[in-house]
């Protein structure tokens, strides 16, 4: 996101600013006529230049008004008045308290809040005289640019308006980006943790056992999930910071970050592949989420996020189609539907590809998913991303919500959502372990079980299926990844990161 696009809006004249200041002074004295042991807090934002209101500033103002309304309640709020004007937003809080006590509290807000340097929290008593920092024995406020005394820098005009505005834009940009990135990373890691914690899960690692996996357990997944937290955040920030770049450039950034995330995962697990597919899916999803969130005040519609996922996913899908010796290519119509390319265009891309060694999600090592694609044409995680995660959005998430609405706990609803995914999805891991025929029979079996399970017998049913999968060495790892993505969507929606799905 370009910082030059942060402070945008209608400039106001000096005459308009003086008139607005005069109105605030009149309002101040009007409120102070209440009399008694009172004080008045005036809150506004320090925005240099002729543009005083823009989306980030308005969002920050509204949010801080809500927080102040709550935090100032300890001083007994008598009246609150809020004004949103193009000459600058302003809020007044009339309190039944001594001004000096309130000022001490608000100084801590200015010093501790990430945007505190932009907050103007003026406090005055019944006489209208503001309490200053030096009245409390405190150092003056620091300059936004150099960190020296802000008053001295202003008097000397030490810094250009452009530099002050750039620093202001940077503060807003980093505050909203970092907070959104934390929320996205939280939803992503919760998806991983809730997926592995969901019990029972046929053939998969859960709190009961390690399923059909001899080289990993529940704690291996916890270690892996913890190692990926900063990378989920990094994927989101890449999407936000580079939202104006081409999809191809952003994908290459995500690819490189994904390589490092995979390395962190393998380091945490001692070389065991717990979340390789999910690193890929999360990079695409978090990157797309960051891109559509950049500069937005309201949560974006899910479809906007999925559209960006499709665009980014095309590049990895193209890598998959560059693999040599593809025995069973997808029908032309399906290629066109998933990747946006015509069959002729795809064939041209394949013939002109000059980097056939870029062969996995993010690193140049052969994977089971690629071998399944070359043998059977099943695209797995890459196809899901390039199509906008349809199995998660159309199967996993609706199923999760359906069972939750039916009174199931989140654990139990997730277990049933997994069974639903097994019944509908061509899982490359099931094909790899059992072959196409057994994988097909397992889907049919899951469909039959879904028609018979109840709230009373579903755990017994899933435990029995778990024993069967362990005996047959089956593991629906791809469906487990889709369950984690479905849970991530659920948590993103709950956190207000995307509009209701």
Each residue's pLDDT expressed in tens, for the chain with a length of 501 residues: 677 788 988 999 999 999 999 999 999 999 999 878 899 999 999 999 999 999 999 999 999 999 999 999 999 999 999 999 999 999 999 999 999 999 999 999 999 999 999 999 999 999 999 999 998 989 889 999 999 999 899 999 999 999 999 999 999 999 999 999 999 999 999 999 999 999 999 999 999 999 999 999 999 999 999 999 999 999 999 999 999 999 999 999 999 999 999 999 999 999 999 998 899 899 999 999 999 999 776 788 899 999 999 999 888 766 544 545 444 433 333 333 333 333 343 333 323 333 333 334 554 335 555 554 444 445 556 778 888 999 999 999 999 999 999 999 999 999 999 999 999 998 888 988 888 899 899 999 999 999 999 989 999 999 999 999 999 999 999 999 999 999 999 999 999 999 866
pTM attached to this predicted model: 0.83
* Owning domain of residue 338: 170-494
- With beta carbons less than 8 A apart as the criterion, state whether 255 and 362 touch: yes
Single out the residue in 136, 159, 182 at which a domain terminates. Answer: 159
Asked, for residue 205, whether it belongs to a domain, the answer is yes
Domain identity same for 322 and 466:
yes
Asked, for residue 500, whether it belongs to a domain, the answer is no
* 198: its two tokens: 């969901």
Here the CATH number for the domain that contains residue 81 is 3.30.70
Reported residue count of the chain is 501
Single out the residue in 159, 194, 226 at which a domain terminates. Answer: 159
Domain identity same for 190 and 59:
no
Domain identity same for 273 and 226:
yes
Asked, for residue 270, whether it belongs to a domain, the answer is yes
Single out the residue in 159, 182, 203 at which a domain terminates. Answer: 159
Domain identity same for 441 and 342:
yes
Asked, for residue 375, whether it belongs to a domain, the answer is yes
* 221: its two tokens: 């997944």
Domain identity same for 414 and 443:
yes
Domain identity same for 115 and 214:
no
Cα–Cα distance measured from residue 377 to residue 84, given in angstroms and rounded to the nearest whole number? 57
Asked, for residue 164, whether it belongs to a domain, the answer is no
Domain total for the chain?
Answer: 2
Q: Is 201 helix (H, G, I), strand (E, B) or coil?
A: coil
Question: Residue 100's pLDDT is what?
Answer: 94
Domain identity same for 280 and 384:
yes
Dihedral in degrees, nearest 10, Cα atoms 237, 171, 307, 310? -20
Domain identity same for 146 and 260:
no
Asked, for residue 499, whether it belongs to a domain, the answer is no
Asked, for residue 112, whether it belongs to a domain, the answer is yes
Residue 92's DSSP bridge partners are: 42, 81
Burial of 9 (0-12, 13-18, 19+ CB in 10 A): middle
Q: Which residues contact 260 (CB under 8 A, 6 or more apart)?
A: 231
Domain identity same for 85 and 205:
no
Domain identity same for 465 and 396:
yes
Domain identity same for 83 and 210:
no
Question: Residue 429's pLDDT is what?
Answer: 87
Domain identity same for 206 and 141:
no
CB atoms closer than 10 angstroms to residue 2: 12
């Amino acid at each position: 996101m370009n910082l030059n696009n942060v402070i945008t809006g209608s400039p106001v004249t000096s005459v308009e600013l003086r008139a607005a200041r005069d109105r605030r002074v009149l309002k101040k004295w009007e409120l102070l006529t209440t009399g008694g042991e009172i004080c008045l807090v005036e809150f506004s934002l320090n925005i240099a230049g002729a543009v005083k209101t823009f989306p980030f500033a308005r969002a920050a103002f509204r949010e801080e008004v809500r927080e102040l309304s709550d935090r100032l309640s300890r001083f007994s709020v008598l009246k609150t008045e809020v004004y949103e004007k193009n000459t600058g937003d302003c809020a007044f809080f009339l309190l039944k308290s001594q001004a000096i006590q309130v000022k001490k509290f608000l100084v801590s807000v200015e010093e501790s809040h990430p945007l505190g340097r932009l907050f103007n929290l003026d406090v005055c008593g019944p006489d209208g005289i503001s309490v200053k920092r030096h009245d409390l024995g405190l150092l003056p406020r620091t300059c936004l640019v150099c960190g020296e005394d802000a008053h001295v820098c202003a008097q000397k005009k030490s810094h250009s308006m452009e530099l002050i505005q750039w620093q202001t834009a940077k503060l807003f940009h980093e505050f909203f980006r970092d907070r959104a990135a934390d929320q996205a990373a939280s939803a992503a890691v919760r998806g991983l943790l809730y997926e592995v914690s969901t019990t029972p899960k046929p053939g998969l690692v859960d709190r009961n056992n390690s399923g059909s996996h001899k080289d990993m357990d529940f704690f291996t997944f916890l270690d892996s999930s913890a190692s990926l937290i900063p990378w989920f955040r990094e994927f989101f920030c890449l999407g936000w910071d580079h939202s104006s770049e081409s999809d191809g450039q952003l994908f290459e950034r995500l690819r490189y970050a994904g390589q490092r995330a995979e390395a962190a995962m393998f380091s945490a697990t001692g070389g065991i592949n717990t979340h390789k597919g999910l690193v890929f899916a999360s990079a695409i999803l978090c990157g797309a989420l960051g891109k559509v969130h950049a500069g937005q005040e309201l949560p974006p519609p899910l479809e906007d996020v999925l559209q960006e996922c499709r665009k980014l996913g095309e590049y990895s899908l193209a890598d998959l189609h560059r693999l040599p010796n593809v025995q069973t290519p997808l029908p032309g119509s399906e290629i066109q539907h998933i990747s946006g390319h015509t069959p002729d265009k795809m064939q041209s891309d394949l013939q002109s590809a000059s980097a056939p060694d870029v062969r996995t999600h993010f690193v140049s090592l052969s994977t089971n998913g690629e071998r399944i694609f070359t043998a059977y044409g099943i695209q797995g995680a890459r196809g899901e991303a390039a199509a906008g995660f349809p199995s998660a959005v159309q199967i996993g998430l609706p199923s999760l919500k359906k069972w939750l609405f039916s009174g199931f706990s989140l654990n139990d609803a997730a277990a049933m959502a997994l069974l639903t995914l097994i019944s509908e999805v061509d899982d490359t891991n099931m094909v790899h372990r059992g072959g196409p025929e057994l994988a097909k029979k397992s889907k049919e079996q899951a469909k039959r079980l879904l028609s018979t399970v109840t709230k009373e017998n579903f755990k017994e049913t899933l435990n029995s299926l778990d024993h069967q999968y362990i005996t047959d060495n089956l593991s629906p790892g791809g469906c487990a990844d889709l369950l984690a993505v479905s849970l991530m969507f659920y948590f993103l929606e709950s956190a207000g990161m995307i509009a209701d799905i």
